Amino acid sequence: MGAYNLLIVNVQCPNCKNTYEAKIQFKYGDTWQLQYRLGDKLKWGGNDIGVPGWPCVKVYGILETDICPVCNQINLEDEFDIYIEHDVLKEVRKMDNIEDYFLNDGSYKLME
């Protein structure tokens, strides 16, 4: 995946339904293995990908590991949409449509 950042969030395993803390890799902002949580503001000014300060961006995210630590099963729901508003990480949802990422090297979609 090259250089990327990590978003640390709780996800639910579709197999056992338990929630666990996971790391989601994404490429937006200064991509340098920086770690974030929801509510954090992205850093810029290095290995930048994307558009700083954009009102709303949907960013492609994928679980760093797809094995549930509770049931040890593969989490088949390992792709996510990460929503960023004015450089602040706002929300994570299960991926809606992979085709949204066919532009911009597959990393993000600028929303209106």
What DSSP state is assigned to residue 9? E
As given in the structure block, the two tokens for residue 97 are 């449509």
The CA radius of gyration of the chain, in Å to the nearest whole number, is 14
Q: What is the pLDDT of residue 38?
A: 98
Residue 4 CA to chain centroid, in angstroms? Answer: 10
What DSSP state is assigned to residue 67? B
Q: What is the pLDDT of residue 39?
A: 98
Domain residue spans of the chain = 5-110
Q: What is the pLDDT of residue 94?
A: 94
Contacts of 10 (CB under 8 A, 6+ apart): 19, 20, 21, 22
Mean pLDDT, the chain cut into blocks of 10 residues (112 residues total): 90 94 96 97 96 97 94 92 98 94 88 84
